[in-house]
Structure 1
Amino acid sequence: METAIVALMEAQGGVASGVQLTALPGVTRHTVDALVRAKVLVRVRRGSFVLGRAFAGATAWERAELQARAVGRSLAADPGGHHALSHESALMMHGLPYFGDDGLVHLVRFDGGRGRHDDTIFVHRPVEVDWLVTVDGLHVVRPALAALQVAALHGAEAGLVCLDGVLHQAETRDRKDTGERQGLAHALVEEDIERALQEGFGTATRVVHEVAQLADGRSESVGESRSRWLLQLLGFGPLLLQFPVDLGDRTVYADLKLGRWAVLIEFDGRIKYGHPDALHTEKLREDALRALGYEVVRLTWGDLVNSRLVRQKILAAIARAEAAARATA
């Protein structure tokens, strides 16, 4: 019996609903309870289970996705479910970046039923059924609406990260397409954004519209989006994204450039420096940029929660850029 349970759950990404488990031959509620006590299964909510070994070895982000998938199997399965995963829980299913996770699984109903919330789930106001798609057998809200839902719930910074991610995914797909399909993915997302803005977000409507205006698919990571938001907040806009610099033998692209000064901003997530050669290459790139008269400011994850430090870094770079400009005038 345990073998059958594990096989089913592995096929579904490490999760299952209680109804699915007790439908297996020879498996009863008592069987499931015994496997929970033995830590073979983790009950994340009544009727929602994750494989114990998957949960134990997961990061916080992976656990959040496992929990969303497990609750989805219980409440948002196709067919039979009357809920759909929404907000950041939907973005997890779409494989998109998100920010603002509050530890809850977010859902909407599409049968007109009322919302509710507890320690595990938050069921929001209903949406029309045509806002839904099916992902891995689960009802899931379309990405653009999910991103704007995050903006309404968690604020502009979180919403910008999410909508940037949705647009970037669309632009990446468009680059792979040719002919009549070229540009189609981005156009469809823009249509969804425009339609979603008509849904109404109550007191968060202004924030949602602000995010829709600022979002840009040229932001390639959560760190870049958060950097852009912080710099806008500190008054260093306008900002130019993926700014091209001709180095003679090649063109490189800086994450951001201050529109009024020769200052480039690079978000440094460290992942790209897994090999020593990568760090050396990046240093040579930065040296070449400085030789052309640009100041380069690198921001890290730690910097993004220290706005005073970021402001000081940017102001110092602006002062150096202005001094250099005067010296060559």
Structure 2
Amino acid sequence: MSPFQIPEFIKAPSVLVEEYGARQLSRLAASGELHRVRRGLYLRTELWSSLKPWEQYRVHIQAVHELAHTAPVFARQSAAQVMGLPLVRAPRPVETLCAAKNGGQSSNGVHRLPAIDGDPPPWQMYGLLVTQPHITARDMAVCLPLAQSLPAMDRLLSMRVLPGSPANVPLTFPVETIQLAISRLPYASQKRRALRVLAAGNGLSQSAGESLSRAIMLENGFPAAALQVPFHDKRGLVGYPDFVWDEYKVLGKFDGFEKYSVQRYLKGRTPAQVVVAEKVREDRLRALGYSVVRWVWDDLADPRRLPALLHEAGLPSR
């Protein structure tokens, strides 16, 4: 997946300064023609409105970088956004590291966090400084609930190299490396939270939606599922269901809809052909004696919906 291309900011002085000037840019922002991203940095309002929430957040990160006197080190969810660790929703404040032990002054949409003694130096990715991936996932595990921190930990544990990673450094992070990073946290409560997310992590998870689903399952006391287990019948390989509860003869599938719209999933087929293939696959799985339950992003937005679907399929919970 190619990184999001940051649109060029309109600013003064710029190529527009002769036409507008700095005051004119402010007046255009007041009239609604321009959107003020950050002091002195603007985008056309029409362009800004067309961006998805996570793209707008990435633009905010870039604006903080461009206005800083010294290149900031982005941390937590801001670092995750830059490097491509999955987030389930767009955050609000931009998060950066500060040398002070108690963090720095947080203001104007920037949250300044204390650095941890002994942490490795930041990486440069896409022209920005970010905490290394295992530090980023650890710090998210400390400050976010399981539903928001597990997707990043799962992606880290998949041992797949993040696009844009620098050269000549370790590019994957085994469990032992993450545990060592957790051991540097200053408080026992922080270590417990981070270790809980690490213990729940599973590198077989294929998407943020699957990770979020598993977090909801864990928090509601459902039995642990096996992930991506191959199923065969007399015709050969049927597929790899996202979640398998063999004891209860239940299979689960999170449907993020990318397979119906993104070319790398369509593989030359039409969306209708993909839907038919999914139906045939489900029929073959049911013929093996399993019930199949499916859910989508909207089902994850309501924390009661996925547990209800799993109960209906016959799964118990504590």
Shorter-chain TM-score bucket reads 0.7 to 0.9
Percent of pairs with identical residues = 26
Q: What is residue 156 of structure 2 aligned with on the other side?
A: 166
Residue 118 (structure 2) pairs with residue 125 (structure 1): no
Q: What CA deviation, in whole Å up to 9, does each residue of 1:105-154 have, x standing for no partner?
A: 11112477941222411111124673301122211111221122222222
Task: State which of 65, 68, 78 in structure 1 corresponds to 2:61.
Answer: 68
The one-letter code sitting in structure 1 at the alignment partner of 2:202 is D
* CA distance in structure 2 between the partners assigned to 1:51 and 1:132 by the alignment: 33
Q: Residues 183-230 of structure 1: CA distance to partner in whole angstroms, max 9, x if unpaired? A: x744x3545412320231644332211011111221111110011111
1:219 maps onto 2:215 in alignment: no
Deviation at 1:159, TM superposition (A): 0.9
The aligned length equals: 292
Residue 42 to residue 305, structure 1, CA distance change in 2 (3 Å)? closer
After the TM superposition, which residues 155-234 of structure 1 pair with which residues of structure 2 at under 5 Å, given as runs? Answer: 155-168=145-158, 170-171=159-160, 185-186=171-172, 188-200=173-185, 202=187, 203-234=189-220
SS of 1:194's partner is helix
Q: 1:29-108 alignment to 2 at 5 Å?
A: 31-39=21-29, 42-46=35-39, 48-50=41-43, 52=45, 54-75=47-68, 81=70, 83-99=72-88, 101-108=90-97
Query: Which residue of structure 2 aligns with residue 285 of structure 1?
Result: 281
Cα distance change, pair 269–66 in 1 and its aligned pair in 2 (3 A): same
Summarize the Cα distance change of 1:50–1:210 in structure 2 as closer, same or farther, 3 Å threshold.
farther
Question: Which secondary structure does the structure 2 equivalent of 1:61 belong to?
Answer: helix
AA partner of residue 199 (structure 1): R
Hey, what does 1:236 align to over in structure 2?
222
Calculate the aligned-residue CA RMSD, in Å.
3.3
Equivalent residue number for residue 8 of structure 1:
none
Contact 2:238 2:284 in 1 (8 A): no
Could you tell me which runs of 5 or more consecutive residues in structure 2 were left unpaired when the two chains were aligned.
Answer: 163-167, 262-270
CA distance in 1, matches of 2:23, 2:174: 44
TM-score after normalising by structure 1: 0.76
Task: Assess, with a 3 A threshold, how the Cα gap between structure 1 residues 264 and 237 changes in structure 2: closer, same or farther.
Answer: same
Distance change (3 Å), C-alpha of 1:12 and 1:288: closer
C-alpha contact (below 8 Å) 1:88/1:99 kept by paired residues: no
Higher helix fraction (1 or 2):
1
1:285 deviates by 0.6
Question: Judging changes above 3 Å, is the alpha-carbon distance between structure 1 residues 216 and 271 closer, same or farther for their aligned structure 2 residues?
Answer: same
Q: Equivalent residue of 1:238, what SS?
A: coil
- Unaligned runs of 5+ residues in structure 1 are 1-10, 174-180, 320-329
